[in-house]
């Protein structure tokens, strides 16, 4: 490296580290606090060196059955992802390969529903869930998660399918493929990356969903998002336990996201680069 370039390079690196640390700080703080006692957690000045403890984690499991919430999160996320893919895949397929005059409008309309604040639909959906006897049920959460992710899923799959040249499908038809064979042997293998990233994104979004989970569920069907919220209770804040609960709630999806980040990025930039 030339000496004249050294200083700017150093500054850029330092700047990048500063921004990265700033962004990571809340998460880092959360991780540290999860391993402190309640007293250490509210200590001023904050402690960076202390003897870590796992008490908070066992306390969280003892007090509020972490595994039940985790199971609920898993069921609703996986359920909404699978149902969502089953609906979105054929929908996107028909829009990508059998276009009509209105296809574009329908796609835009679907996306526009995401522009409405969720709270706008809270009362009707709450009343619907109540009337159907589905309050605090996994069914209601799965349905709502599916519906709220569906527009994005259709869009992502639509752009994944658009990358498949129509002539390849025509070739399959000439070869005698039925609609199902064509989908199974040609469309599916060629869009498996798109399906995977769509599924992953839907899984992450459902796992992290808090608004509907908080409003439609409580003790029985509550997901990890409601578990975290339950620790900011009227009896006062327990920073260490709240941190431990948060860490336990986000850990699975963070680890999962870390391993699948390549797929996720690929899915989100579909069609952006030819």
Partner 1 sequence: MAYLELKNIEKSFGETQIIRGVDLEINKGEFIVFVGPSGCGKSTLLRLIAGLEPITKGKLLLDGKDITWAPSGKRDLAMVFQSYALYPHMSVYDNMSFALKLAGVSKGEIRAKVEYAAQTLNLTQYLDRTPKDLSGGQRQRVAIGRAIVRAPKVFLFDEPLSNLDAALRGNTRVEIHKLHRALGATTIYVTHDQVEAMTLADRVVVLRDGLIEQVGTPLELYDHPANRFVAQFIGMPSMNMVAASAIPSFSAATGGRLPSDGFLGVRPEGLRVHPKQAAVSGVQGRVELIEALGADTLIHVDVGGVPLIARQNERTPLHAGDDVAVELDPSVLHLFNHEGRAVPA
* Residue 177: count of CB within 10 angstroms of its CB: 16
What distances in angstroms separate CA 25 from CA 17, 41, 140, 192, 238, one per listed residue?
12, 16, 36, 36, 20
Q: Judged by CB, which is closer to partner 1: 97, or 211?
A: 97
What distances in angstroms separate CA 107 from CA 25, 185, 220, one per listed residue?
39, 26, 36
CB of 260 to partner 1, least distance (A): 21
CB of 189 to partner 1, least distance (A): 5
Q: Judged by CB, which is closer to partner 1: 27, or 192?
A: 192
Out of 42, 147, 190, 229, the residue judged to bind partner 1 by CB under 8 A: 190
Q: Judged by CB, which is closer to partner 1: 95, or 169?
A: 169
CB of 166 to partner 1, least distance (A): 9
Over the window 149 to 178, marking each residue x when it contacts partner 1 by CB under 8 A and - when it does not, the resulting string is ----------------x-xx-xxxxxxxxx
Residue 186 makes contact with partner 1 by CB under 8 A? yes
DSSP 210: -
Residue 189 makes contact with partner 1 by CB under 8 A? yes
The interface with partner 1 within residues 117-156 (CB under 8 A) comprises none
CB of 195 to partner 1, least distance (A): 14
> What sign does the CA torsion over 36, 42, 48, 51 have?
negative
Q: Judged by CB, which is closer to partner 1: 106, or 171?
A: 171
- Sequence-separated (6 or more) residues with CB below 8 Å from residue 106: 95
Q: Judged by CB, which is closer to partner 1: 45, or 176?
A: 176
Chain CA centroid to CA 77, Å: 8
b/e map 21-41, b = 16+ CB within 10 Å? eeeeeeeeebebbbbbebebb
Q: Judged by CB, which is closer to partner 1: 182, or 209?
A: 182
Phi/psi for 207 (5° steps) reads -60, -40
Number of residues in contact with partner 1, rule: CB under 8 A? 17
Contacts with partner 1, residue ranges (CB under 8 A): 165, 167-168, 170-178, 181, 185-186, 189-190
């Amino acid at each position: 490296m030339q000496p004249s370039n050294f200083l700017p390079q150093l500054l850029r690196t330092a700047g990048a580290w500063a921004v990265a640390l700033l962004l990571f700080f809340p998460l880092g703080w959360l991780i540290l606090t999860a391993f402190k006692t309640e007293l250490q957690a509210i200590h001023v000045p904050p402690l960076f060196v202390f003897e870590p403890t796992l008490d908070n984690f066992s306390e969280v499991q003892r007090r509020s059955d972490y595994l039940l919430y985790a199971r609920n999160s898993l069921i609703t996320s996986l359920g909404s992802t699978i149902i969502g893919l089953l609906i979105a895949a054929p929908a996107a397929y028909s829009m990508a390969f059998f276009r009509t005059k209105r296809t574009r409008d329908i796609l835009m309309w679907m996306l526009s529903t995401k522009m409405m604040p969720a709270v706008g639909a809270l009362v009707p959906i709450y009343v619907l869930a109540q009337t159907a006897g589905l309050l605090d049920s996994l069914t209601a959460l799965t349905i709502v998660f599916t519906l709220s992710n569906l527009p994005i899923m259709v869009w992502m799959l639509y752009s994944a399918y658009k990358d498949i040249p129509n002539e390849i499908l025509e070739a399959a038809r000439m070869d005698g493929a039925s609609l199902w064979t064509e989908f199974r042997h040609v469309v599916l293998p060629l869009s498996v990356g798109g399906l995977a990233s769509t599924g992953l994104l839907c899984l992450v979004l459902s796992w992290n969903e808090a608004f509907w989970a908080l409003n439609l569920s409580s003790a029985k069907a509550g997901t990890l998002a409601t578990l975290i919220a339950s620790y900011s209770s009227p009896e006062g804040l327990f920073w260490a336990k709240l941190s431990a609960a948060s860490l336990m709630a986000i850990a699975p999806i963070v680890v999962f996201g870390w391993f699948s980040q390549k797929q996720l990025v690929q899915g989100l930039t579909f069609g952006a680069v030819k």
